[in-house]
Amino acid sequence: MRWSLLLGGLTALGAACMEGAKAPVKSANGALAPGAATRGGKDKDGTFRVVFAGPQGEANEVSELSLVFSRPLRKLELAGAPPPAIPISPAIAGRWLWVGTHALHFVPETPHLPGSTQYTVTVPAELRALDGAALGSPYRLEFSTPRLKLVDSEPGAGSRGLEPSSKFTLHFNQAVDPQKLQALTTLSATRAGKTERLAFTVQRPDPQQPKHLELKPTRPLPIHSGIKLAVAESLTGLEGPLPLAAAFEIGVETYGPLTVDSVNCDRETAHGQCAPGGSWSLELSNAVPLKDLRRALSITPAVPLRFENWTDEATPVSYLSINAPFRAGAKYTLRVAGDLRDVHGQSLARAFAKEMAIDDYFPAVEIGVQGHLLDPRSASTIPVGSLNVKSYGLTTAALTPEDALSLSSTDDLDERWRLLRSSRQAIARSISPSSGLNRINKENLPLASLLGPSGHGPLAIGVEYERNPKDYRSLETFKIVQLTDLAITGKLSPQGSLVWVTRVSSGEPVAKATVRILGGASGEHRYETDAQGIAKVPASDFTPKLDESSGDAAAILVAQSGDDWAFERARDFLSPWRFSVPFDWSGRQRNYGMIFSERGIYRPGDEVQVKGIVPVSNRAVARRRLAKSSRSSSIHLIPKRRIRKPSS
């Protein structure tokens, strides 16, 4: 086979027709489908036999039958040869068709075979292959079409609060005789341990929808009762004689007396009581108008209540979410008035009351700052807040550029703590709050004194305290903040980078600022910003691959002007989701392309025309490739999709 290549060095995939013969597999509807099977081709002894038949067993959907033989039954050029007579029981209107020389499939006249039916296909023993070999013994294929089953019901199993006038609508996958369904169905009601049979009728509301039936009790369903509809396994449909695969029941309940089923709250707290400031939920057995429920509800001591505004006042509800500023350590009583009535006209048997205890806050210590850049004009202190802790450790350290590099090289909290404690500038204190239970204690950190003579630069802050194991919140206990008027913006690339230094206070560029790269693969490098505040970093000094965490990507950029300095990590870049176009963070220049042929299937010996398109960003490379584009290459396809590389 000759391939005409317009692009050198292309790789082609092998054609499936070059592989050895395999038996087909059965698709979901019983038709032939490509792929390998557990059996295929001839037997080792070469006997003539059926190597594939489908569908088998209980099929999900049947639109055709398939038979594949180990030897050809006709010559390929005999297109008009009649297929052999292969009987099907019970008979199906349709015809057998050839599939190549080894296979037959039967196509029914109707789109689908009748359901709930067992079929037998018998290949006669006298059937002969093209070479005269006889099958020898009959081959039988047995399968069944989908059985009758319930698809859906209204009401569904488990439904509650049914009205006495309720009826059942049943949706089957096949048409069902209403009289037969009535004869094989029972309807019963159970209340206080006593069960009674209920009379009912079955009818088909719409003659155009024979799969939908309606079961209607002859008298209203008893209230406060469990209702069970049971259908026997022997029920059959109108399509075939096979019955249901299994009997089924639909259990429901009519409405009961109006009660408060539950009052719940978030109890993932220190002592399993309600969370401070959290929401409560009230659930009733039956629906009541929302305005009536809000009128009947009260909480003492009085607290301002907020309700979810998802429905109007007249809408019946059986669930209510209650939000209020419940104080930690307090106790409240929720009450529902006894004159509350549901949509059925029933009232509570008696007024409802439940005491709810509010738990204490979890022990917590939090560093009161968001972000990491602080404006020297407005920031003079950083608050550290604590709540319900007996004592906590507070460690601070003014950082040097070398400290910043060490702390930036790891995200492991334990390692960061080790580095912080080993810093020469580290100051460790133990704080014992005195504000009392459930009251916030605030410790203000004076930035100017902690940062030393310059009063500017990065500051590391860490807090340590004993956490409650039930507290699943993730509070930051280690932060690096920078009190600086220098902002660093970088455009980083393996082809060269730009670093722009500006003022936080005014946005103006900072000229003659020193820019340092620390922790890169080739060591430290220094640069100076121009009048526009830009420092150019050549690719020979710095080639970050931002899809990695090592090498130059692990470096930090340090900017210094006078006694003020700041730093940023090279790998703290904007995330890809912020961009509206695909982006390769690695920065590597790769060739991307595609190949395509003039059609999708070929006979052995056909010539295949293949084209390829590869965009290149380098003009010199493009010219060299265009010069080679007129060259032809040969490629050979061999089984198992092994490819020989093109040779000129």
Residues 214-237 have pLDDT tens digits of: 999 999 999 999 999 999 999 999
The model carries a pTM of 0.63
pLDDT 10s digits, 67-88: 999 999 998 876 678 899 999 9
Range from 328-332, 450-454, 501-505 carrying the lowest mean pLDDT: 450-454
Identify the band that residue 13 occupies on the pLDDT scale cut at 50, 70 and 90: very low
Identify the band that residue 45 occupies on the pLDDT scale cut at 50, 70 and 90: low
pLDDT of 637 strictly over 70: no
pLDDT 10s digits, 359-410: 999 999 999 999 899 999 999 999 999 999 999 999 999 999 999 999 999 9
Mean pLDDT (the chain, rounded) = 87
Query: Between 401-408 and 413-422, two packed helices, what is the crossing angle to 10 degrees?
Result: 160
| 589, amino acid identity | Q
User: Between β-strands 373-374 and 478-483, what pairing exists: parallel, antiparallel or unpaired?
Assistant: parallel
pLDDT 10s digits, 310-347: 677 888 999 999 999 999 999 999 999 999 999 999 99
The predicted structure's pLDDT at residue 79: 66
Backbone phi, then psi, for 383, in 5-degree steps?
A: -80, 145
The pairs formed by 524-532 with CB atoms below 8 angstroms and a separation of 24 or more are 527/499, 529/499, 529/500, 529/501, 532/500
Highest average pLDDT, of 306-310, 532-536, 541-545, comes from: 532-536
Distance CA 566, CA 372 (A): 11
Domains, the chain, with CATH or none: 1-23+589-648 (no CATH), 41-146 (2.60.40.3710), 150-253 (2.60.40.1220), 260-357 (2.60.40), 364-483 (2.60.40), 486-578 (2.60.40)
pLDDT of 605 strictly over 50: yes
The predicted structure's pLDDT at residue 11: 31
pLDDT of 590 strictly over 80: no
Identify the band that residue 556 occupies on the pLDDT scale cut at 50, 70 and 90: very high
